[in-house]
Amino acid sequence: MVSLTIDGRKVEAEPGKTIMEAAGSVGVKIPSLCYHKALLPWGSCRLCVVEVAGRPKLVASCAVPVEEGIEVRTDSPRVVAARKLVSELLLLRCPEVPQIQELASEMGADETRLRRFQPDHEDCILCGLCIRICKERMGINAVDFVNRGPDRKVAPPFSRHSPICQTCGACESVCPTGAVHLAEVTGNTPRPIAAEFNMGLVGRKPIYIPFPQAVPKVPVIDPERCVFFQRGVCQTCGSFCEAHAIDYEQKEEELELDVGAVVVATGLDLYDVSSLEEYGYGKVKNVITAMEYERLTSASGPTGGELKRPSDGRLATDIAFIQCVGSRDFKHMAYCSSVCCMHATKEAMLAYEHHPGTKSTIFYMDLRAVGKRFQEYLTRAAAEYNVTYVRGRPGSIEEAENGNPIIWYEDTAARQTKSFETDLVILSQALLPSNGHVSEALGIALDEYGFVQIPDRLAHPLDSSRPGVFACGYVHSPRDIPDSVVQASGSAARVAEVLAGTQGADDDG
């Protein structure tokens, strides 16, 4: 260990660590702009300069290693003057960049003395982070500094689109001021990775936490899109992780377990409603699925809970729900998906709560409100939440010039064909049992719709066709969360029955 003094405090640091790292370890924060934990020190912004006793000039703490016995000051008048000048000079260069304005005010920039100069209107601070991450981490170096001195700028060679850029967007994401535009580096169209949990409405990184309630709530790497797994470079995440928790060598393990019972609780999948071409999903921009709606109105979703419609980002205040999209339909799924009438009503009420006055219209065939006080829920929606229920199955959806969907439907009560223009259409998509591989893997039968076949629904409502294998939740049959929980308790009880007295016994016992 190396002993040094920082601002009068004794500090111990590992040899090879920089002064900035040593200071950070005792809570002394040194400002910087061009420093990045996963990149080699660059030392060009000069914001992190500190005074080392006996050295004639200030030194960049991000780059200078600790030495035994040195006395460092991070707050001396020379250091303060340096930071002030650097932030003033950057403010003169980039007066409109909020991050630089903030920095300048933090560093005590003197606005009066800056008025003496002609400011530029740049947004790039020439920190080089974009270049260095592309060169050091991605091994590509698609952009670099060109020109010397005051003419310096960041560009691909000859300011033409780079043929070697891998369109990963690392440069754009590491830029502290938002000056990097991927479109200036490459002619390739970036392919955002659709965040699965947010229904592809937004992108995600190759390393990501699937959703806020994930168990365990730990990031996972998508090897199909991770630059390390694809090209053997980067590993920026690994060099950042202070817990050294990232193991790129992790392999899939196959475990063999000897068990006495299996509970199948694999849940549901969403039906792809683009096959219902009459509704224009995928073509008419403001036609979305109910699950997409859920993500748009979720506070942790892509829009922070604001119902911004896809075509123009405008808040939708007149919305329409179409029920049974793909359900109760011989051309698609013949069964009723069970939960959609209730969830559509909930969604309409939610929209009203977010923005009182929102008008919702629900186009239904039958309203299935079979649970306790479910009917009262629907009545309340109509009475207090500006929800109108229209009995009629829409035939098609067109798109108006302003992006509004126009629904053509038959009003069965009035026995008329009508058109209905709205801001946004939500399709209550059919739900499917998520039964991938379950049947072959466990040797159980599925019914004609793909749900787990239950031979004896009366006496053994949770037993599959194979002894010891039970099913609960949506893969068993369409049901909501409370009913799924009831079945889960039931499955647990069945498991307990089957395994009682068998502890320690072998397969035959």
Partner 1 sequence: MAVRSADDLAKLHERGLGSLFPAKTKVSVGMATCGLASGADEVFKAIRAEAESRGADIVLSRTGCMGFCQREPLVSVVKPGWPRIVYGEVDIPKAEEIIAALAEGKVLDEYALCQIAEESNLIEDSRIAYPTNGLPPGLEKVPGYQDVPFFARQEKRILHSCGLVDPDSLEEYVSLGGYRSLFKVLTSMTPEEVIEEVTRSGLRGRGGAGFPTGRKWEFCRQAPGEPKYVICNADEGDPGAYMDRGILESNPHSVVEGMVIGAYAIGASQGVVYVRMEYPQAIEKIRTALEQAEEQGFLGNDILGSGFSFSIDIDCGSGAFVCGEETALMASIEGLTGEPRQRPPFPAQSGLWAKPTNINNVKSWASVPLIISRGAEWYSSLGTEKSKGTVVFSLVGNVNNSGLVEVPLGMSLRSLVFDVGGGIPGDKELKAVQTGGPSGGCIPAEMADLSVDYENLAEAGSIMGSGGMVVMDEETCMVDVAKYFLSFTVAESCGKCVPCREGLRRMHEILTDITEGRGQEGDVELLEQMSNTIIDTALCGLGNTAPNPVLTTIRYFADEYRAHIEEKRCPAFVCKALTSYYIDPSKCRACRICLKECPTEGIAGAKDVIHVIDQEKCSKCGTCYDVCPTRLSAVVRLSGVPVPATLPEEERVLARAKREE
Residues near partner 1, by CB under 8 A? 41, 43-47, 49, 57-60, 63-65, 78, 81-82, 85-86, 89-90, 92-93, 113, 116-118, 126, 144-145, 147-152
Q: How far is CA 475 from CA 197, 269, 433, 454, in A?
A: 20, 9, 4, 11
At 484 the three-state DSSP class reads: helix
- Between 150 and 509, CB nearer to partner 1: 150
- Between 147 and 503, CB nearer to partner 1: 147
Distance CA 79, CA 180 (A): 30
- Between 34 and 234, CB nearer to partner 1: 34
- Between 139 and 187, CB nearer to partner 1: 139
Q: Is the dihedral of CA 162, 166, 170, 173 positive or negative?
A: positive
Q: What are phi and psi of 192, to 5 degrees?
A: -65, 150
Structure-token pair, residue 445: 């039968």
Structure-token pair, residue 412: 């069965």
Structure-token pair, residue 440: 């072959």
Shortest spacing between CB 227 and partner 1, in angstroms: 24
Shortest spacing between CB 74 and partner 1, in angstroms: 14
Structure-token pair, residue 246: 């990232």
Shortest spacing between CB 92 and partner 1, in angstroms: 7
Shortest spacing between CB 67 and partner 1, in angstroms: 8
- Between 90 and 349, CB nearer to partner 1: 90
Shortest spacing between CB 149 and partner 1, in angstroms: 4
Element (H, E) at 5: strand 2-6
Query: Do 206 and 193 contact (CB within 8 A), yes or no?
Result: yes
Shortest spacing between CB 82 and partner 1, in angstroms: 4
Parallel, antiparallel, or unpaired for β 2-6 and 71-73? parallel
Shortest spacing between CB 66 and partner 1, in angstroms: 11
- Between 129 and 325, CB nearer to partner 1: 129
Shortest spacing between CB 126 and partner 1, in angstroms: 7
70: left (phi over 0), alpha (psi -120 to 50) or beta: beta
Distance CA 352, CA 363 (A): 17
Distance CA 386, CA 349 (A): 8
Residues with Cβ within 8 Å of 359's Cβ and at least 6 positions away in sequence, in order, are 317, 318, 319, 386, 388
- Between 41 and 392, CB nearer to partner 1: 41
Q: Is the dihedral of CA 183, 189, 190, 195 positive or negative?
A: positive
Q: How far apart are the first and last CA of the chain?
A: 62
Q: Which of 332, 367, 362, 327 is nearest to 347 (CA)?
A: 362
- Between 85 and 202, CB nearer to partner 1: 85
- Between 81 and 183, CB nearer to partner 1: 81
Shortest spacing between CB 73 and partner 1, in angstroms: 13
